[in-house]
Structure 1
């Protein structure tokens, strides 16, 4: 029997039986047998499992940030940074290095998502934006990787097991793992690009008879081709699964993922200026994301005092008219027809922050208490006294947040907005 394979030149090459047997022996050596499951090792798995020699902080003085270079994740990352007034500027469009003018001293490097994580681990970059799925797969829970912001609001998806739709008896993960078809001689064949996460998942489930193989794309075709029984892959809308006659199963959701901001613990603790950069970025990102979907509703209401107006709002509108921390009530100075000032306090301006979905409901409640001249406009930023995730980061690093109070009003980025 002779096998016909394509070559780089596009011509066909013939493999004889002897050469084919040699290829089989090489392939056999690449198979990793584990105590609980059989895993066909991939280059990615070998790289992530290999020992990484981390570069010392003293090897460079600059602060480096890595962001995805291609695809939807790259576009969403650039859009988020732009919305937060952290616009990335490439000096030369052909280079992979860039800068953020509003944060001087930071180098931005465009990398593949996998390489963002690898370079964080190796110490080549200090800060990165990447999908949580890739962080877990490549980072493999490295203790030096610290998630600074776990919900950047884009790249939402989940890693899940999908089986052929015509497997009517397989509805849940329990059904799949208890299926009598799988044995030591005939294991369940799962194809995935997430070897580390898949290996850990099946080990946690205590499943003995599974064979994992790797591929980087078009996983949905593998079951129909007979190359695998099922897949473990990222799912967003589920449309691609349905179009390839696949279905998700209950209990087969391995991991939820979206864009995250991550940093090197070593750099945060030892590289001068890294904590200040993270604080600046975290404040901007938190303020922007908190403002998404929020609108400011302003109305004029009659009353004898600001306290009376606030009391009326609280008693009649409940939580809806209290806003984020309470309504803002301020006096309006009106004038009579003869030009003289009227008595202060006949009208008060009330401002309330509300979700977009409740704007009209808020307007109706304000009208009930005498509101008029209602104005509605979107919010761009909502700054807290301190981002909650900053306090969480300080706790993670074993630092006292009070020692970094100066960052709230620091002069590290005094040239902000002059790019």
Structure 2
């Protein structure tokens, strides 16, 4: 049986998050230090550890079949590559920044100015859409230093917390795009490997759904069940079980992790007691 070749970033936060989700979907990789390729245990997968910027071309050429890669890299170097899944981790943004001392009222202020970046195609598209002509200096490495040494008037780079900009006396003034890790697919994937990919996608979807949700259990007086159920739609409907104490029931459901604080406050106001909220490892729909 053919093995599906998955590319991940060689090092860094995206590498760590990629290996974590592979482990969560039951793909265990035994890779030694500085190893560039490793096979999974009990699953037809090989993992290739590659430079992030090289991965789009490897996908196009069919050297690797799929990749866990930042969406921003695909937009820059492989926007014709299909995204099979958005993975929800390693989020960042590609933003425009200028020195803190600079006055900035809008993108038109960069007319005729110099912009340093590792994302020339992304920046050029952004400038074209806004009808601005500027000089782009391509820098591979520490882009933030460019304004401080007089090489550029502004930079475009990935931003997570913004601390690197702050340390280099820069301020974020415009967001070009948002990015997260995605599962990208080679355009030359064959049917046999497509079947393996579909199994992986099923597992990933189950893990991501679990990460987005919380399992909630609570006790409620029977005369409050209807009002509480209206707050807990769950997957289909909440589970209601009678308790040993007469007139009380236990209610079990699933809620979005982004909503559970607001929901819990409403539940308490409607008579719920003994509320227990648990993480969900995986959720198969």
Alignment TM-score, normalising by the size of structure 2: 0.87
Structure 1 contact 313–322 (Cα < 8 Å) conserved: no
Question: Relative contact order (C-alpha < 8 Å, sep 6+): which is higher?
Answer: 2
Question: Are the structure 2 counterparts of residues 93 and 325 from structure 1 closer, same or farther at C-alpha, using a change threshold of 3 Å?
Answer: same
How far has the Cα of 1:120 moved from its partner?
0.3
Question: How far apart are the structure 2 equivalents of 1:382 and 1:248?
Answer: 38
Q: How does 1:281-292 map to 2 (within 5 A)?
A: 281-292=200-211
Structure 1 gaps, min length 5: 1-59, 304-308, 336-344, 385-419
Residue number in structure 2 paired with 1:391: none
How far has the Cα of 1:193 moved from its partner?
0.6
Question: How far apart are the structure 2 equivalents of 1:300 and 1:231?
Answer: 55
How far has the Cα of 1:242 moved from its partner?
2.0
From 40, 43, 59, the counterpart of 1:100: 40
Q: How does 1:93-172 map to 2 (within 5 A)?
A: 93-102=33-42, 104-139=43-78, 141-142=79-80, 145-150=81-86, 152-168=87-103, 170-172=104-106
From 69, 78, 91, the counterpart of 2:19: 78
Structure 2 contact 215–254 (Cα < 8 Å) conserved: yes
Residue number in structure 1 paired with 2:177: 255
Question: How far apart are the structure 1 equivalents of 2:154 and 2:96?
Answer: 7
Question: How far apart are the structure 1 equivalents of 2:278 and 2:118?
Answer: 45
Residue number in structure 1 paired with 2:136: 212
Question: How far apart are the structure 2 equivalents of 1:293 and 1:365?
Answer: 25
Residue number in structure 2 paired with 1:325: 236
Residue number in structure 2 paired with 1:193: 118
Structure 2 gaps, min length 5: none
Q: RMSD value over aligned CA atoms?
A: 2.7
Question: How far apart are the structure 1 equivalents of 2:50 and 2:175?
Answer: 28
Number of aligned positions between the proteins: 282
Question: Are the structure 2 counterparts of residues 376 and 246 from structure 1 closer, same or farther at C-alpha, using a change threshold of 3 Å?
Answer: closer
Question: Are the structure 2 counterparts of residues 376 and 190 from structure 1 closer, same or farther at C-alpha, using a change threshold of 3 Å?
Answer: closer
Max Rg structure: 1
Q: How does 1:163-182 map to 2 (within 5 A)?
A: 163-168=98-103, 170-174=104-108, 176-177=109-110
Question: How far apart are the structure 2 equivalents of 1:265 and 1:361?
Answer: 49
Question: How far apart are the structure 1 equivalents of 2:170 and 2:247?
Answer: 66
Structure whose residues are more often strand by fraction: 2
- What whole-Å deviation, never above 9, does each CA across 1:347-369 have from its counterpart, x for those lacking one? 65421113343474365256x2x
Residue number in structure 2 paired with 1:380: 281
How far has the Cα of 1:346 moved from its partner?
6.9
From 255, 265, 271, the counterpart of 1:361: 265
SS for the counterpart of 1:100 is strand
SS for the counterpart of 1:136 is helix
